Structure 1
Amino acid sequence: MTPPEPPFQPLRPRDPRSVGDYRTVGRLGAGGMGAVYAGRAPSGALVAIKLVHGDLAADPDFRARFRREADLVRRVSSPCVPRFLASDTGSGQPWLVTEYVAGPTLRQHVRDHGPLTGGHLRAFAAGVAEALRAIHTAGIVHRDLKPGNVVLAEDGPKVLDFGIARALAETAITRTGGLFGTPGWVAPELLRGGQPGPAADVFAWGALAAFAATGRNPFGTGSAESVAVRVLEARPDLDGVPEDLAPLVTAATGDDPARRPTVEQVLSELLGTEPTRVGGTGAEEATVRVTQVLREQWEAPSPPAAVAPHRSPTPNPDSARTPAGAGGRRWAVGVAAVATVLLVTAGGWYLGGRFGTNVDGTSARGTDGSEEGRVGGTETGAVSGAGGTIAVEMSGNGLFTVHADDSGQLGIAPGFDGVGPVLPEEAERAESAVATVRLETVSSDAAARTGVTVFGEVEYVADNGEFTLRSGDFTLLEVGEGMDPLPDDPTADGRPAHHADPDDVLVTVDPESPGAEFEVRFPGAPDSGLLAYLPAHDAHGGTRYAVRGAYACYMNWHPYPPVDMTDEEFVPCWEEPPSE
């Protein structure tokens, strides 16, 4: 009898029903390189299958990256890292299989049940340190340790996702000037352009331990810029970390990597033993001790509740909103700072103009200066009683930041300014930011290189309220002869446009459920064009706002665009790959 399936997201019509010898039974997530599926081995055991997107598999750089990832995962052996099972990096769509780890992520557990305490917390800290010891023993730096990448399994924490790990002896396969990682968990030396090393993982361990102990991001929330400034100024919030852990966590999150403890020293402090070498008998003894600690002090969490593709919105037009980060610190960095802390996207992105018009090409500003209704959805007519403006700006390569201005103090007027920042220079972006939307693109039909799938993740960064993302927020516009390659308003010149279902709610995020992934398909869209993002009038908490948006250029045939965000270089979109 086949065992029942856990509550995975259901497979979609275009998802494979098998990968190698493994049968797919549900979706676990998606990322820049591919999708992750739950599967069944021939023995019936549950497994996790990572499958590269079809169009990326044809790119030799992406294939080399995935081959390297599989090699890195194969090297690591630890009770706190999922076991490598199989891979095929030479197939048409390369894949990698590891054991399936059941349980909530640390972020999910803290959200639902609060911080870890007592022996449970120390066992967590020791388990993650043991995973890093094994990772470093294999000559690898993880580079993306964060609450969403640690699962609390029945027998202990499991560190996941080697998608951006790198071998210490290798040159990272990445775009020049790009930095992998997640703001708030990236070590300060990496923000300054340094090379990733074990000390950067120790920094992330300290931040992770602080989050587990307090339930708060140690460097706070808000825009990527504001979080980066706190990291660079070494200002973690460690209030509430237990006294017996506080000195170790403080040292681990210090600014100077040379003064942080090594992962061996971290384990020594947690286990009350002498520091071990990176490899050899001492390391094996440390693993045994950690396993014993987990057996004695680990509290197996309840499995997470059913996983749904999205949560239906519950708008509340009467809800009041306090600006995110009210009373927070002013930040003193510009767009350039954000560009140094972003994940590199799968598709090529170029920064384009900002706009405030409707997605069918009509002006967002009525003849009387009022904001017209949003086209493509159910809303038409002037926006009456709008509480302010929702403004979208490009914060970095593939990352949009959504700002909500209730009071009008930011001076955001309906309309568009063409290329340039949406908010005035003196604006406190950290206080107006409500969400970030990270976008990537791949071809829906890899063989014909037609159709576009837009996918990514939304993170809520405000302290209250909620934000809803709909399919209709996105429009793909074509480029070509006779069309301005870098228009002020990409929707106003009559160029062909491709739309998705305007009323399809993709995700709703709020402080309790701040992160979510999404995917939208545009079957008829070309492989290169302009992607316009214009939120719905009621995207923020149900209150009706005037809206203005942003657009970017996507080019799926150009996975590593030569974008120099630090110089705010606005590069037009090409219809076809440039000739050599």
Structure 2
Amino acid sequence: MTSPEPPFSPLRPRDPRSVGGYRTVGRLGAGGMGAVYAARDASGTLVAVKLVHGDLAADPEFRVRFHREADLVRRVVSPCVPRFLASDTGAEQPWLATEYVAGPTLSQHVREHGPLTGPGLRAFAVGVAEALRAIHAAGIVHRDLKPGNVVLAPDGPKVLDFGIARALDETAITRTGGLFGTPGWVAPELLRGGPPTPAADMFAWGGLVAFAATGRSPYGKGSAETVAVRVLDGRPDLDGVPEDLMPLVTAATGSDPDPRPTVDQVLERLLGRSAPDSQEEATALVTQVLREGWKAPPPPTAVAATRVPPPVRPPVSRRKRLLVGAAAVLSLAAVASAGWMWGSGVGGRGPGPEAVSETVDGTRASEAGNEDGSSNGREIATEVVGDGLLTVYAAEPGELGITQGFDGVGNVLPEDVERAEYAIATVRLNTVYADSVAQRGIKVFGEVEYVADSGEFTLHTDDLVLWEVGDGLDPLPEDPAADGRPAHVADTDEVLATVTPDAPSAEFEVVFPRAPESGLLGYLPAPTAHGEDGDRVRGSYMCYMNWHPLPPVDMADEQYVPCPEEPPA
């Protein structure tokens, strides 16, 4: 009898049924680089296979980068890093296979169950330090260690995502002045233009342990500039870190990289003995700590699958943001070049808040209703809740508490709304060049998942618009549809996908042949997206940058980065 598959998404009609010698059985995710599949080897063991998008596979430079990534993953051996299995970087569509890791990310676990405590927290600190020991021993700096890149597996924490790591002996290939990583987790010396070193990973380790212990990012939330100022000021919020871990966390998050403890020094303190002399000894010691102190976390709930965001914070006014020094500003622009940086705003169709339909007698539809004051319409709203992932909500008028229009950057729904109760669909968006050879135009593609028990949801080409960015245009506008910037829409309005409880998932793609390589990608559901007219509809916009197609930043951490017009020099 075949055991049931773990809770990953089913394969789509166009998904491959095998990659290399692995039989694909589901989808684990997708991003700008490609799709990640759950697959089984010849013995039936579950593995994770990353398959590069066909458009990127045609780019020789990208193939070189992917080959380098596979080589980096192959070098790292640790019980706290997914095991490398195989790769074929010369295939028509290059792929990479690693151990399958089940469990929530640290950010998911903290959001659903709160911070780690006691022996589990200490085991987490040991496990992540052990992963960094193996990474640094292989001559690599991770450079993007954050809560979304650590999975809490049944046997301990696992550090993921070497997609933007760089080997220490390969720094010549890194763009001069380039900065990769996520605001709030990037060390201050990197913000000032310094080279990546293992000390930068130890800075992130300290912040990660603080986050695991308190449930708060040590440098808070807000715009990239605001978070960078806090990092450069060197005043992390460590209130709530246990006394036994506080000295190490404080030293690791120090502004000066030289006094920060090395990973060996951290392990010496945490293990209560000298650093192990061999990889085998390190593995045995860490395994013992994890066996004694680690407790398998509960799996992510259905709510987490839609990446429901944390409670809304007060909107950050762009006019009140602190200014960053010139070097940091240049570095922050480089942060944006590391991938799609998604700003959760509210995008819109038409001229803005006043674009509401009218009834026959001239009464606005949002004001019209039945004799008893009720309305026949719905409220529909979207929020960016994960790596390129939007959740769509629908409710009777007044239940979501939204209005027609824009809030700028921030969560759409009020804090007291139970998001899981109103979620109807998720939409994952990606972009690549429409013509990858000439690097012209933009293809928007992705997947729609229906998560409600009844009804249907429809996605139209007209729901998507690409706005331009550049001189004189606000990089994070409150209303991108109302400030006069050029917009690009599809040539025809067509149904891209319709999903229901019986057919809950569908893929889509649409081409914008004249759109620039960088801009704002806006999404606003049609008023009839959920089967009947909506009185109020709110959307979201994101920043796409096709010169560096990496997965988008995890918006569950609410890190908002403006969209530049051109790649940093």
Identify whether the pair has TM-score above 0.5, normalized to the shorter chain. yes
Q: Which residue of 2 aligns with 1:533?
A: 522
In 2: Cα distance, 1:322 partner to 1:22 partner: 42
CA distance in structure 2 between the aligned counterparts of 1:244 and 1:552, rounded to whole angstroms: 42
Output the aligned Cα RMSD.
Answer: 5.1
Whole-angstrom CA distance in 2 between matches of 1:113 and 1:302: 9
- The 5 A counterparts of 1:255-270 are 255-270=255-270
Residue matched to 2:43: 43
CA 1:399–1:231: 2 relative to 1, 3 Å: farther
Equivalents in 1 of 2:487, 2:157: separation in Å?
A: 49
1:273-422 matched pairs, under 5 angstroms: 273-275=273-275, 281-282=277-278, 284-305=280-301, 310=306, 324=314, 331-333=321-323, 338-342=332-336, 344-345=338-339, 358=349, 363-364=351-352, 370-372=354-356
Q: Relative to 1, partners in 2 of residues 1:152 and 1:12: Cα closer, same or farther, differing over 3 Å?
A: same
The offset of 1:444, in angstroms, is 7.6
Question: Which residue identity lines up with residue 209 of structure 2 in the other structure?
Answer: A
The size of the alignment, in residue pairs, is 474
Which residue of structure 2 aligns with residue 453 of structure 1? 444
Distance 1:554 1:290, change over 3 A: closer
- Pairwise CA distance, 1:433: 12
Identity fraction in percent? 59
Residue 255 of structure 1 aligns to a residue whose secondary structure is coil
Paired letter, 2:151 = V
Per-residue deviation, 1:224: 2.4
Q: CA deviation at 1:33?
A: 1.4
Deviation of the 1:519 alpha carbon: 10
Which SS does the other structure have where 1:194 is aligned?
coil
Residue pair 1:439, 1:454 contacting (<8 A) in 2 also: yes
For 2:335, give the aligned amino acid: V
Aligned to 2:245: 245
Distance 2:441 2:286 in 1: 51
1:340-394 deviations in whole A, cap 9, x for unaligned?
43352379x9xxxx99973xxx5447xxxx34459xxxxx957669xxxxxx9xx
The DSSP-based 3-state class of the residue aligned with 2:222 is: coil
CA pair 275-31 structure 1, distance change in 2 beyond 3 A: same
Q: Displacement, 1:72?
A: 0.8
Say if 1:36 and 1:50, in contact at 8 Å, map to a contact too.
yes
Tell me: CA distance 1:447–1:298, structure 2 relative to 1, closer, same or farther (3 Å).
same
Aligned to 1:31: 31
Specify the alignment match of 2:395 in structure 1. none
- Given that 1:187 and 1:203 are in contact with CA atoms closer than 8 Å, whether structure 2 keeps it comes out as yes
Any unmatched runs of 5+ in structure 2? 369-381, 383-387, 391-403, 416-426, 449-456, 469-482, 528-533, 551-560
Letter in 1 for 2:432: V
Residue 9 of structure 2 aligns to a residue in which SS? coil
Counterpart in the other structure of 1:197: 197
Q: Counterpart of 2:231?
A: 231
| Contact 1:72–1:140 (8 Å) recurs in 2 | yes
Q: TM-score, normalization: structure 2?
A: 0.69
Using the alignment, how far apart are the partners of 1:329 and 1:98 within structure 2? 46
Select 1:496's aligned residue among 476, 491, 498.
491
Cα 1:444–1:310 shift into 2, 3 Å: farther
Match of 1:522 in 2: 509
Residue 258 of structure 2: SS of its match in structure 1?
A: helix
Contact 1:34–1:50 (Cα < 8 Å) also in 2: yes
- Tell me the distance in 2 between the aligned counterparts of 1:356 and 1:50: 32
Distance 2:235 2:248 in 1: 16
Q: Distance in 2 between matches of 1:284 and 1:270?
A: 18
Map of 1:215 onto structure 2: 215
CA contact (8 A) 2:129 2:205 kept: yes
- The aligned residue for residue 104 of structure 2 is 104
Partner amino acid, structure 2, of 1:124: F
Match of 1:35, SS state, is strand
* Partners of 1:498 and 1:119 in 2: CA distance: 56
CA distance in 2, matches of 1:341, 1:274: 37
State the shift of 1:296 in Å. Answer: 1.4
Q: Is the deviation greater in 518-527 or in 21-30?
A: 518-527
CA–CA distance in 2 between the matches of 1:221 and 1:80?
A: 28
Q: 1:177–1:521: structure 2 CA closer, same or farther, 3 Å change rule? A: farther
Distance in 2 between the 1:144 and 1:469 partners? 36
Distance apart, 1:20 and its partner CA: 0.6
TM-aligned CA distance change 1:88 to 1:338, over 3 Å: same
Distance in structure 2 (CA, Å) of the matches to 1:322 and 1:81: 33
Residue type at the aligned position of 1:20: G
TM-score (norm 1): 0.68
Per-residue CA deviations over 1:257-284 (Å, capped at 9, x if unaligned) read 11110011110110111245xxxx3554
Distance 2:232 2:124 in 1: 27
Gap runs ≥5 in structure 1: 314-320, 375-379, 386-391, 393-397, 401-412, 416-421, 424-428, 458-467, 480-486, 506-517, 561-565, 573-580
Corresponding residue SS for 2:193: coil
CA-CA distance at 1:337 after TM superposition: 6.8
The answer as to whether partners of 1:149 and 1:159 remain within 8 angstroms in 2 is yes
Q: 1 CA distance for matches of 2:135 and 2:539?
A: 45
| Aligned residue identity for 1:54 | G
Separation of aligned partners in 1, 2:348 and 2:27: 36
Q: Cα offset for 1:537?
A: 10
- Indicate yes or no: 2:432 matched with 1:442: yes
User: Secondary structure of 2:336's partner?
Assistant: coil
SS of the residue 2:6 aligns to? coil
Is residue 78 from structure 1 mapped to residue 78 from structure 2 by the alignment? yes
